[in-house]
Amino acid sequence: MARRACARHILVKTVDEANALLKRLKEGEDFDKLARKYSTCPSKKNGGSLGEFSRGDMVRAFDEAVFEGPVLKVQGPIKTRFGWHLIETIYRQ
């Protein structure tokens, strides 16, 4: 079972914003650019990158998406107490 992962995300306030951004990603827009422009998380300055972290470091729904969902595929919208996330797991180890 993976204990560490690297992921990036876009955090927005509403599910409608998240769905609109997901549509744009599916149409081929760049994750990095959308994160820098629309994310409300400080990670936006790094294109949404959260770097590498351990299982249990993030809130439950986020952690489950990263450690149990597909790698290199955008997941979401996923709701946490911070808002709505679009999450892409880069790798797990």
DSSP string, 24-84: HHHTT--HHHHHHHH--SGGGGGTTEEEEEETTSS-HHHHHHHHHS-BTSEEEEEEETTEE
Model confidence pTM above 0.85: yes
pLDDT of residue 64: 97
Domain 7-92 of CATH type 3.10.50.40: yes
CA dist., res. 21 & res. 38, Å (int): 9
pLDDT, the chain, mean = 97
pLDDT digits (tens, 9 = 90+) for 40-78: 999 999 999 999 999 999 999 999 999 999 999 999 999
pLDDT of residue 2: 85
Percent of the chain topping pLDDT 90:
98
DSSP tag of 19: H
